Amino acid sequence: MRMRVFHPRLAVILHDLFMTWLAWMISYGIRYSIWVDAPELSWFSQEFALVIIIQGIVAYYFNLYRGIWRFASVPDLVNIAKSAIIGTFVIGFVLFLIYRADGVPRSVLILYPLILMVLWGLPRLTYRVFKDSKLNVLSHEKQKVLLVGAGRLADMFIRHSHASGLYDVVGIVDNKSKYKGANLRGVKVLGRVIDIEKICNNREIKAIVITHEHILAQQMKDIVDNSMSSQCKLLTLPNLDKITDKGFEISNLLPVTIDDLLGREKISIDWSNVAHKLQGKSILITGGGGSIGSELARQLVKLDLKSLCIIDHSEYNLYQIDRDLNTKNSDLIIKSLLVNVTDKAHLFQVFSSVRPDIVFHAAAYKHVPLLEKMPCEAFINNVIGTKNIVDTCDQFNIEKMVLVSTDKAVNPYSIMGATKRIAETYCQSKNTRSATEYIIVRFGNVLGSAGSVVPLFKEQIANGGPVTVTHEEMTRYFMTIKEACQLIVQSMVLGSKSDIHVLDMGKPISIMSLANRMISLSGKIPGKDIKVVISGLRAGEKLHEQLYYDVEKLKHTSHKKIFHISSAIKIFDVFEKQLNMAMKQAINFQDEELTRSIKKLVPEFIHQAHLTVVEK
């Protein structure tokens, strides 16, 4: 037969009940010690039994037995005080009801709660100090950390680090002057953010934990910039929504990511309005296996749709997103189809079968230097493919079609940008003579998307460098994939024919700074552990991108982070004639002729003087 283990909580209860008896006994002892002829004090009586029972019930009410002595703190002492004081009032009231408290000196009722607080609290604090001292002996095994930001979260972190024994908090930095020289649970504020490098080097810091509440992106950049030569890990607390008054799991610390360094407030959308607009709708997403298309599908699949159809010409990408979506939503009808948007006959068959209400067109080629060598392929996919989708939407009277565009379409310097500008123009022109509402969404670079600079830098850093930056002055607008998809969905709700929607993306980010910060976030020192080299501008690249033309008028929408721009629409007859000529040149792979036609379609297109023609 298995023996039952003695539960430690029962030991706590027995300890407190014994201390209750002892406090009552000591109170009498002190009271009668001043009498010459003091009455003989009984070791136990009905009065003692009542005191122990009543005090035990009151202590239970104040959760005194749920506290863990190892983590005894001020809230526990407050509960002890409440329990002792209120227990005394209840004891006095009950004794008065039973026998009018005859023989119970009033001084006992005054001394008892004070003595009880000492007898209950002192063992708890002694045990806590003993455990902490044992951990301090082993402090050389703990990871030394520096906190950035004094306040509630720093206090919480220090308390939990003492309890867990995982970290040794050696100091705090904070830019607020009111914290200068202050102490938080014995940890001193050592300086400001600018002092991080010096502090880390002098005190052998291994990790920097950001304990600011609601930290701004610029503050995060300053912290990263001042940590670059420290080789320290940068960590943040879990999502603030998961932090309660009781704290958080210290093991859930998260590394600072490049997403945390975006220089603007992250956008949020009215999902209730979106859900209402899309309820019961059939949605079709082109390029649904790509970075944007797949995230868009993941967000839309959460809504009460009638059906969701994803088309992509990549078998592997389509398989991946199909498997992902079907594991998350078994009720929604999801169709994943291998379709190339350049095949108009296949598109007609798909639209006839699916009968979508709304189409999101995310399918496109986007690698700038690669497409410079293959203008015909870029045109066929980005222009002819878009034209096929636009025309098919018009043919089937689709409610809305959203075109995913790019800032590279503004004053394009690349084939890719020029083809996206032509796609924009065709949608704007079609809006003038179609029942379908064509909406254009234009944004900058997407962090982490396939072919973008961030995955490239990550790969180069993982391989030990060097990290290649094409020009030290290059800047780009950046947003996360989730933000991009929220912009696309919100723009669909906002609508407005012939308008192009753009996001307030804040200030452009220096690619050189991005590279250095990514190296620093990996725990390496830029220029020392991993070199950054200037490789030179590649074909089709610009130093700086724009989100809209100077002649386009920027207007506010109902969403504070989204603007729409109205621009003059080209005369469609002339545009269509030039477009048809370019389409013939593209399908016949006439690169040089096509490039000249693109220049006519997009007069502001600035192309390199020479064109590299790939051998066919």
pLDDT tens digit sequence for 402-441: 999 988 888 898 999 999 999 999 998 888 888 899 999 8
pLDDT tens digit sequence for 106-125: 777 788 888 888 887 777 77
Q: What does the pLDDT read at residue 164?
A: 65
CA angle 456, 457, 461 (to 5 degrees): 120
Q: What is the DSSP letter of 224?
A: H
CATH class for the domain made up of 140-256: alpha beta
Q: What does the pLDDT read at residue 131?
A: 61
User: What is the rounded distance in angstroms from the CA atom of residue 607 to the CA atom of residue 91?
Assistant: 92
Kindly report whether the peptide bond that precedes residue 466 is cis, defined as omega within 30 degrees of 0. Answer: yes
Range among 8-17, 379-388, 446-455, 471-480 with highest mean pLDDT value: 379-388
Q: What percent of the chain has pLDDT over 90?
A: 21
397 versus 166: which is more confidently predicted?
397
Return the bridge partners of 337, or none.
311
Q: What does the pLDDT read at residue 416?
A: 93
Other C-beta atoms lying within 10 Å of the C-beta of residue 60? 14
Residue 303 has pLDDT above 80, yes or no: yes
Q: What does the pLDDT read at residue 3?
A: 44
User: What is the rounded distance in angstroms from the CA atom of residue 147 to the CA atom of residue 166?
Assistant: 14
Q: What percent of the chain has pLDDT over 70?
A: 82
Q: What does the pLDDT read at residue 569?
A: 60
The domain made up of 271-601 has a fold known as Rossmann fold (3.40.50)
594 versus 206: which is more confidently predicted?
594
Residue 268 has pLDDT above 80, yes or no: no
Entry pTM = 0.67
302 versus 364: which is more confidently predicted?
364
430 versus 62: which is more confidently predicted?
430
Residue 608: its H or E element: none
Between 182-191, 198-207, 441-450, the lowest mean confidence (pLDDT) is in 441-450
Residue 368 has pLDDT above 60, yes or no: yes
Burial of residue 428 (number of CB atoms within 10 Å: 0-12, 13-18, 19+):
buried
Residue 140 has pLDDT above 60, yes or no: no
Q: How far is CA 199 from CA 165, 171, 229, in A?
A: 22, 9, 11
Cα 305 from chain centroid (whole Å): 26
Q: What does the pLDDT read at residue 361?
A: 96
Residues 242, 248 contacting (CB under 8 angstroms)? yes
User: What is the rounded distance in angstroms from the CA atom of residue 123 to the CA atom of residue 319?
Assistant: 62
Residue 12 has pLDDT above 80, yes or no: no
70 in helix, strand or coil? helix
Selection from 47, 56, 42, 52 nearest residue 98 by Cα: 47
User: What is the rounded distance in angstroms from the CA atom of residue 586 to the CA atom of residue 95?
Assistant: 101
User: What is the rounded distance in angstroms from the CA atom of residue 279 to the CA atom of residue 511?
Assistant: 41
Buried b (16+ CB within 10 A) or exposed e, 181-216: eeebeebebbbbbeebeebbeeeebbbbbbbbeeee
Q: What does the pLDDT read at residue 43?
A: 63
294 versus 568: which is more confidently predicted?
294
76 versus 232: which is more confidently predicted?
232
Selection from 42, 41, 87 nearest residue 61 by Cα: 87
93 versus 540: which is more confidently predicted?
93
Range among 167-181, 303-317, 509-523 with highest mean pLDDT value: 303-317
Per-domain boundaries in the chain: 8-135, 140-256, 271-601
- Cα maximum dimension of the chain: 122
Residues 159, 134 contacting (CB under 8 angstroms)? no
Selection from 262, 263, 194 nearest residue 225 by Cα: 194
338 versus 226: which is more confidently predicted?
338
Tell how many helices (H) and how many strands (E) occur in the chain.
20, 22
Residue 315 has pLDDT above 60, yes or no: yes
- In whole numbers, what is the pLDDT of the chain averaged over residues? 79
Buried b (16+ CB within 10 A) or exposed e, 115-141: bbbebbbebbeeebeebeeebeeeeee
What average pLDDT does range 270-282 have in this prediction? 85
Selection from 252, 260, 78 nearest residue 156 by Cα: 252
Residues 406, 368 contacting (CB under 8 angstroms)? no
Length of the chain: 616
Selection from 274, 340, 339 nearest residue 304 by Cα: 274
Residues 156, 163 contacting (CB under 8 angstroms)? no
Per DSSP bridges, beta strands 187-191 and 183-184 are: antiparallel
Per DSSP bridges, beta strands 358-361 and 282-286 are: parallel
Selection from 355, 432, 419, 339 nearest residue 387 by Cα: 419
User: Does 271-601 match 140-256 at the fold level?
Assistant: yes
Q: Which two tokens stand for residue 517?
A: 């910060």
What average pLDDT does range 245-250 have in this prediction? 53
Residue 47 has pLDDT above 90, yes or no: no
Residues 394, 434 contacting (CB under 8 angstroms)? yes
Q: What does the pLDDT read at residue 317?
A: 92
User: What is the rounded distance in angstroms from the CA atom of residue 237 to the CA atom of residue 220?
Assistant: 13
